[in-house]
Amino acid sequence: MSSLRFPVGRLPDEALLSGLATGDPELAVVFVRRFQHRVFGVAMAVTGDQQLAEDVAQQTFERAWRHAQIYDSRRGSVTTWLTTIAHNLAIDAVRARRAEPVAPEDLDSLLGVVSDTPERWALADEASAQLRAAVARLPREQARALMMAGIYGMTAQQVADAEHIPLGTAKTRIRAAMIKLRTTLGASKRGDHVQ
C-alpha cells in the first residue's frame, strides 16, 4: 500500500509540518532533512559557534514540533516561520552565554580599580588596558553613564532613571564620555600623550 502513496519527499512544506504535528515519524524525518541545513546556517550565522548552532537547530525543530498546530500560512512560509524561530533562539542563546555584568551600584568601586601591576599587564592586552585607564580618567558621572550604556546596554532613558537625572543630562554624559574616550584613545594610537 505504501507504494501507492505520494512520495513524501515531494510533499509541500505545509503538509510536512502537518505531519510533524501529528507525530508521523516518516514525515518528521523528511521535514528535518528538508530544513536542517537552512536552520543550522541561520543558527551558525548568529552564534558563530558550531556546537551552540547545533543546539539551537535541535531546539528549533523541537519548538516547531510543539507549535506546528499554530503555524499560519497567511503570515509567511514554513521556511520563514522556521528560520525566524531559529534566529530568535540563536539570539537568546548568545545572550545567555554572555557573562553576567556587575550591578550598576557596584560600578564606583570597579571604576577606581585601575592598577598597573605586572600581573594586570600580562593578563590584559594593551588596548583593553588603555581603555580601562581612559575610562578611569573620565569624570565619575560620565564613566557611570558610559558603563551603563556600553556594558549593560541600557538606553539613555534607563540611565536617566537609574541615576535619577533628566534624560538630556544622561545623553550629554554618555556623549561627552564617548568623545573624551575617542580623543584619548586616538591620541594614544598616534603616539601623543593626552592627560
- Span 61-104, pLDDT tens digits: 899 888 888 877 787 888 888 988 999 899 888 888 765 566 66
Confidence at residue 181, expressed as pLDDT on a 0 to 100 scale: 86
- pLDDT score of 5: 55
> Which residue did the predictor score with more confidence, 36 or 24?
36
pLDDT of 189 above 70: no
For range 111-129, the mean pLDDT = 49
pLDDT at residue 129 in the model: 65
Average predicted confidence (pLDDT) for the chain: 78
Which residue would you say has higher pLDDT here, 181 or 151?
Answer: 181
Instruction: Count CA atoms closer than 13 A to 177's CA, side-chain side.
Output: 25
pLDDT of residue 3: 44
Write down the pLDDT at residue 100: 57
Check: pTM over 0.75? Answer yes or no. no
Q: Which three cell numbers stand for residue 47?
A: 552564534
CA distance linking residue 27 with residue 82, whole number of Å: 16
* Rounded Cα distance, 150 and 159, in Å: 11
pLDDT at residue number 188:
63
Q: What is the pLDDT at residue 168?
A: 95
Helices (H), the chain: 13-22, 25-47, 50-67, 78-97, 107-111, 118-123, 126-137, 140-150, 156-163, 167-190
71/119: higher pLDDT: 71
